[in-house]
Amino acid sequence: MKDMIKEIVDIDREAQQITDEAQQEKLNSTEEVAKRREEIRATYLSRARKRIAKNEPVERAAAEKNWAATEKHYSEVRQKMESNYTAHGDEWVKALVSRVLGA
């Protein structure tokens, strides 16, 4: 009988030890996953920053080229408007005045 009780106590201790080890392993795994997640995040951010730094000059040059084209277009439009105003400004003023006063 004593042997049986001793055996039950020993089995209970083994079960408790196995449970404790499993809980510790679970805790270690959780910590390892969190650490690995941070490593992956840091690696991803580092690679993204490098890509941004690499692409920045190309993107800036493209933006400046687009800005120069837009600025040229609006400069040409402004010059055309000024030319039309110089050529027809007096006519336009007379037509507006006569429409306003004639109405």
Report pTM.
0.49
- Find where tokens 């009780």 sit: 5
Domain ranges, residue 18: 1-89
Residue 65 lies in a domain: yes
**pLDDT tens-digit map of 22-78:** 899 998 999 999 999 999 999 999 999 999 999 999 999 999 999 999 999 999 999
Residue 100 inside a domain? The answer is no
The total of structural domains in the chain comes to 1
Q: Which residues are within 8 A (CB) of 92 and not within 5 positions of it... i.e. 6 or more apart?
A: 85
- Residue 53 within a domain: yes
Burial 72-86 (b: 16+ CB within 10 A, else e): eeeeeeeeeeeeeee
pLDDT of residue 4: 84
Amino acid at 30: T
pLDDT of residue 7: 83
According to the model, what pLDDT value does residue 56 have?
Answer: 94
Whether 101 maps to a domain, the answer reads no
What are the Cα distances from residue 68, in Å, to 2, 64, 78, 79, 89?
Answer: 97, 6, 15, 16, 30
- Domain assignment present for residue 21? The answer is yes
95, part of any domain: no
